[in-house]
Amino acid sequence: METTAKTADVGHRMIQPSRLDGYPLIVGPFTHVAAERDRLSALRWQHLEARQVGASIGAEISGVDLTAPLAAEVIAEIRQALHEYKVIFFRDQPMTPEQHIAFAKRFGELEIHPFIPSNTAQPELVRFEKSAEVAGFENSWHHDVTWRPQPSMGAVLHGISIPALGGDTLFSDMYAAYESLDDETKELIENLDAVHDYTQAFGRFVPEEQRAQMRVQHPAVTHPVVCTHAATGRRHLYVNRVFVSHIDGMDADESRALIDRLCRQADAPEHQCRFQWEPDSIAFWDNRAVQHYAASDYWPAIRVMERASIIGPRPAR
C-alpha cells in the first residue's frame, strides 16, 4: 500500500512531518554540513597541505614524512588537522613498526588490546590479517573500544597489504550526526547514558573458563549518549551498534528503538567520507568524533593492516 506524506517548502528548507519508529526523519538540505564544508575549505596550514575528501570530514595530508622524526610544531599542526577534519590520510608512508609506534606515541600513551592479539613483536600494534581463510568482520559502524572507561582518543592505521579492489574504510562525522537531530531528540538524549559492553562483540572470542575473570577486569561501563569533545568543546553522538547494549534506565523496547535511531545517523552519506587504500597509506582518525566501517568486499583477497591506538580521557557530558 502506498502512502503519501505532505511536504511543505519553506524557502529552501524542506519540512517533512512523517515519522519512522516514533522519531523524526532527517530531511535535507544539510545546512550544518555545508557550513562545516565552507569552514574547512578556508583553513590554511604552515607545515602541511590538506585536500578535503568529504564535505565535513576527512582530508588527505601531504608534505609530511611520517617515517622521520617530526618537530614539535609539525606534530602540533597534525593534531590540529585531526581535530578539524576528524580523520586525516597520508600516502606513501613506508613506516616500520617502530616508526609507527614512535609516531603514534607523539599523541599520547598507547593501549594494548586485551582481546585482539597484536601478532607483532610490538604489543601496542594490533595486526589485522584477512584472507580467504579469515574473512573481515569490521563491517559495522563503530567507535573503537568504547567498553573501556577511557576509550581510544584516536587510532593510526597503516595499510600493509591492500586488495587490488575493495577493502575501503568509511568514516562518519559524529558532530554532524548530532547536529542533524531535531530539537525534540536532542532534548530527549541530553542527559542519557549508554551502557557499553565488550561482550557484545568480543564475548565469543573469550574462552569460557576465562569469562568470569575477564568480566571482573572489564565490567560494562556507561558513557554519555552526547559527549563534549575534550579538545574541541563540540558536542557529538557517542553511541554505536557494536558495543552499546542498552540505554541506562530506559525500557528495553524504547532503548532498542532509540539506539537504532541514533546509530542510523552514521548511515547518512552526507556525514561520510570514504578512503581507498594503497600500500603504505595511513589513516589517523579521532575516535571520539567519528565512527568507522571497514568494507568487507574484497574476499578472498589478502588485506593486512596494523593499528596503534592512543588512550584518551573518559568521555564527559
Q: How confident is the model at residue 302 (pLDDT cuts 50, 70, 90)?
A: very high
CA distance 296 to 177: 24
Q: Does the pLDDT at position 262 exceed 60? A: yes
Q: Is 307 a catalytic residue?
A: yes
Residue 315's pLDDT is what?
98
At which residue does the C-alpha cell 523524526 appear? 24
Contacts of 312 (CB under 8 A, 6+ apart): 108, 150, 151, 152, 153, 154, 230, 287, 288
Catalytic residue among 261, 271, 292, 303: 292
Residue pair 35/42 in contact (Cβ under 8 Å)? The answer is no
Residue 120's pLDDT is what?
76
Q: How confident is the model at residue 73 (pLDDT cuts 50, 70, 90)?
A: very high
Output DSSP code: residue 142.
B
Residue pair 310/110 in contact (Cβ under 8 Å)? The answer is yes
Q: Does the pLDDT at position 275 exceed 90? A: yes
Q: How far, in Å, are 19, 32, 34, 103, 113 from residue 254 at the CA level? A: 15, 28, 32, 44, 32
Q: Is 274 a catalytic residue?
A: no
Report yes or no on 272 lying in a domain.
yes
CA distance 263 to 241: 7
Q: How confident is the model at residue 152 (pLDDT cuts 50, 70, 90)?
A: very high
Residue 202's pLDDT is what?
72
Report yes or no on 255 lying in a domain.
yes
Give which of 216, 224, 82, 93 is closest to 146, Cα–Cα.
224
DSSP H stretches of helix in the chain: 31-41, 72-85, 97-105, 174-179, 183-189, 199-202, 211-217, 252-263
Catalytic residue among 113, 142, 148, 288: 142
Q: Is the pTM of this model over 0.75?
A: yes
Give which of 307, 287, 313, 308 is closest to 154, Cα–Cα.
287
Distance of CA 70 to the CA centre of its chain: 26
pLDDT digits (tens, 9 = 90+) for 212-260: 787 888 899 999 999 999 999 999 999 999 999 999 999 999 999 999 9
Taking CA 125 as the corner, what is the angle to CA 100 and CA 123, rounded to the nearest 5 degrees? 125
Report yes or no on 316 lying in a domain.
no
Residue 22's pLDDT is what?
47
Rg from Cα positions in the chain: 20
Rounded average pLDDT over 40-55: 98
Q: How confident is the model at residue 210 (pLDDT cuts 50, 70, 90)?
A: confident
What does the longest C-alpha to C-alpha distance in the chain come to?
64
Q: Does the pLDDT at position 16 exceed 90? A: no
Rounded average pLDDT over 149-171: 98
Catalytic residue among 79, 143, 144, 236: 144
The better pLDDT of the pair 60, 30 is held by: 60
Rounded average pLDDT over 73-90: 99
Kindly report which listed range (6-10, 87-91, 110-114) carries the lowest average pLDDT score.
6-10
Report yes or no on 25 lying in a domain.
yes
Residue 224: CB atoms within 10 Å:
19
Rounded average pLDDT over 164-171: 97
Q: How confident is the model at residue 27 (pLDDT cuts 50, 70, 90)?
A: low
Kindly report which listed range (97-111, 212-226, 244-258, 269-283) carries the lowest average pLDDT score.
212-226
Residue 29, classified by CB atoms within 10 Å of its CB into exposed (0-12), middle (13-18) or buried (19+), is exposed
At which residue does the C-alpha cell 570530514 appear? 57
Kindly report which listed range (11-15, 67-71, 168-172) carries the lowest average pLDDT score.
11-15
CA distance 283 to 139: 17
Q: How confident is the model at residue 136 (pLDDT cuts 50, 70, 90)?
A: low
> What total number of domains does the chain contain?
1
In one letter, which amino acid is 296? S
**What does the mean pLDDT of the chain come to?**
90
Taking CA 58 as the corner, what is the angle to CA 56 and CA 63, rounded to the nearest 5 degrees? 135
Residue 274: CB atoms within 10 Å:
14
Report yes or no on 50 lying in a domain.
yes
Domain hosting residue 80, numbered range? 8-311
CA distance 292 to 144: 9
Report yes or no on 281 lying in a domain.
yes
Catalytic residue among 218, 236, 271, 307: 307
Q: Is 271 a catalytic residue?
A: no
Residue 25's pLDDT is what?
53
Report yes or no on 34 lying in a domain.
yes
The set of cell numbers assigned to 150 is: 577511557
| Helix (DSSP H) and strand (DSSP E) numbers for the chain | 8, 19
CATH number of the domain enclosing 193: 3.60.130.10
The set of cell numbers assigned to 212 is: 568470569
Residue 86: CB atoms within 10 Å:
31
Report yes or no on 317 lying in a domain.
no
